[in-house]
């Protein structure tokens, strides 16, 4: 457990400063984004209802596909991949960027086959040739091996190697329909690189393109020290919205599809106390398994 905790604390880079001071993000004065109405239909449910049938069929086939392990399928109850991706506006003929998919590539398993025939998937990865004992290098090789091990699923995936986020180029400017990121926001804030990453996403997206963000949702209220809050994995939703809008995006809609009211957000090991990490091991394991995965904000932004 101590090793995993230490690995989490490694800074992605000590050289990159955020483009906007941590305490300076302000709320948008634009028309409020679409949000779930009390007792009404969640925007994610509406997105599923109104989705392109061919995309729905492709997504359902990918979600049920043999490339997914039983362990990953078990997490669908917390991650709602069909509803989340359709809420973000995914269509099977889009050019999509997945930021920081991690060594396991949980969403890559779904996005790659969905987009393989008529769309395009671009993912980031760290340098597999980096220091062999480094956490990032191990994850990079895990992801590289995953793609290489199933060419019938991943042969069309384009990989962008991340070395320095300040020079990150995801795709030709204005060529991408959708950029997605899942549970990465806290790490970027902690490492002062969120401005560089969101800037690269903004540049790659077409006007009207979408940024879809899923992140661990902290308790509401002001944030005196965002980096300290980010070390727990949790950040307040309104702060995240204002932060991302400060880089040029505009919030279009919020969904509660990945909410978990059982999550009290006050654990000794932060969000990693909960599944799937279960950092406390067997201590109170049944309690945390019963809570499930974290409470998550699911946000849809547009590039004006």
Q: Supply the CATH number for residue 194's domain.
A: 3.40.50.150
Domain assignment present for residue 27? The answer is no
Task: State pLDDT tens for residues 142-179.
Answer: 999 999 999 999 999 999 999 999 999 999 999 999 99
Q: Give domain status of residue 262, yes or no.
A: yes
Q: How far is CA 230 from CA 49, 81, 110, 127, 189, in A?
A: 35, 24, 28, 25, 7
Number of domains in the chain: 1
Whole-angstrom distance, CA of residue 174 vs CA of residue 186:
26
HEC profile of 30-50: CCCCECCCCCCCCHHHHHHHH
Q: Whole-number mean pLDDT of the chain?
A: 90
Work out the percent of the chain whose per-residue pLDDT is above 90: 86
CA distance 171 to 122: 8
What is the distance between the alpha carbons of residues 206 and 67, in angstroms, rounded to a whole number? 31
Give pLDDT, residue 182: 98
Q: How many Cα atoms are found within 13 Å in the side-chain-facing hemisphere of 63?
A: 17
In a 3-state reduction of DSSP, which class is residue 163?
Answer: coil
Residues whose CB falls within 8 Å of the CB of residue 253, separated by 6 or more in sequence, listed in order: 33, 34, 35, 43, 87, 299, 300
Nearest to 108 by CA among 70, 78, 150: 150
Instruction: Evaluate if residue 119 carries a pLDDT over 50.
Output: yes
Predicted confidence band of residue 32 (pLDDT cuts 50, 70, 90): low
E strand intervals along 127-175? 158-162
| pLDDT over 50 (residue 227) | yes
Could you tell me if residue 29 is inside a domain? Answer: no
Residue scoring higher pLDDT (207 or 25): 207
d(CA 243, CA 21): 10
Residue 33 confidence (pLDDT): 73
Least confident range from 17-31, 132-146, 181-195, 231-245: namely: 17-31
* Token pair listed for 127: 């340098």
Range of the domain at 202: 2-16+34-302
User: Do the domain assignments include residue 21?
Assistant: no
Supply the pTM of this predicted model.
0.89
- Domain for residue 81, yes or no? yes
Determine phi and psi for 67, rounding to 5 degrees. -70, -10
Prior bond of 132 cis (ω within 30°): no
Q: Tell me, yes or no, whether 191 lies in a domain.
A: yes
Say if 181 falls within a structural domain: yes
How high is the pLDDT of residue 38? 65
- Span 187-213, mean pLDDT? 98
- Indicate whether 25 belongs to any domain: no
Q: What is the dihedral of CA 117, 118, 119, 125, to 10 degrees?
A: 10
| Kind and range of the H or E run holding 83 | helix 81-87
CB 109 within 8 A of CB 286: no
Q: How large is the average pLDDT for residues 115-133?
A: 96
Element (H, E) at 127: none
């Amino acid at each position: 457990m101590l090793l995993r905790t230490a690995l989490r604390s490694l800074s992605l880079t000590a050289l990159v400063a955020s483009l906007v001071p941590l305490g300076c993000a302000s709320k948008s004065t634009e028309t409020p984004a679409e949000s779930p109405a009390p007792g009404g239909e969640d925007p994610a449910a509406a997105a599923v209802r109104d989705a392109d049938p061919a995309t729905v069929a492709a997504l359902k086939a990918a979600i049920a596909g043999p490339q997914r392990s039983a362990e990953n399928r078990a997490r669908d109850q917390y991650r709602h991949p069909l509803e989340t991706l359709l809420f973000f506006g995914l269509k099977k003929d889009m050019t999509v960027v997945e930021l920081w998919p991690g060594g396991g590539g949980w969403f890559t398993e779904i996005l790659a086959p969905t987009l393989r025939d008529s769309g395009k998937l671009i993912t980031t990865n760290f340098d597999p040739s980096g220091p062999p004992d480094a956490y990032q290098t191990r994850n990079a090789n895990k992801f590289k091996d995953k793609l290489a091990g199933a060419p019938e699923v991943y042969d069309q995936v384009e990989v962008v190697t991340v070395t320095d986020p300040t020079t990150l180029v995801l795709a030709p400017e204005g060529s991408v329909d959708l950029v997605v990121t899942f549970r990465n926001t806290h790490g970027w804030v902690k490492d002062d690189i969120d401005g560089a990453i969101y800037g690269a996403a903004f540049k790659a997206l077409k006007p009207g393109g979408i940024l879809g963000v899923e992140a661990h949702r902290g308790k509401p209220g002001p944030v005196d020290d965002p980096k300290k809050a980010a070390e727990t994995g949790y950040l307040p939703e309104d702060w995240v919205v204002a932060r991302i809008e400060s880089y040029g995006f505009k919030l279009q809609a919020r969904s509660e599809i990945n909410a978990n009211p059982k999550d009290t957000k006050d654990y000794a090991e932060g969000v990693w106390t909960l599944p799937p990490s279960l950092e406390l091991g067997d201590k109170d394991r049944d309690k945390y398994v019963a809570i499930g995965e974290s409470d998550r904000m699911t946000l849809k932004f547009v590039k004006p």
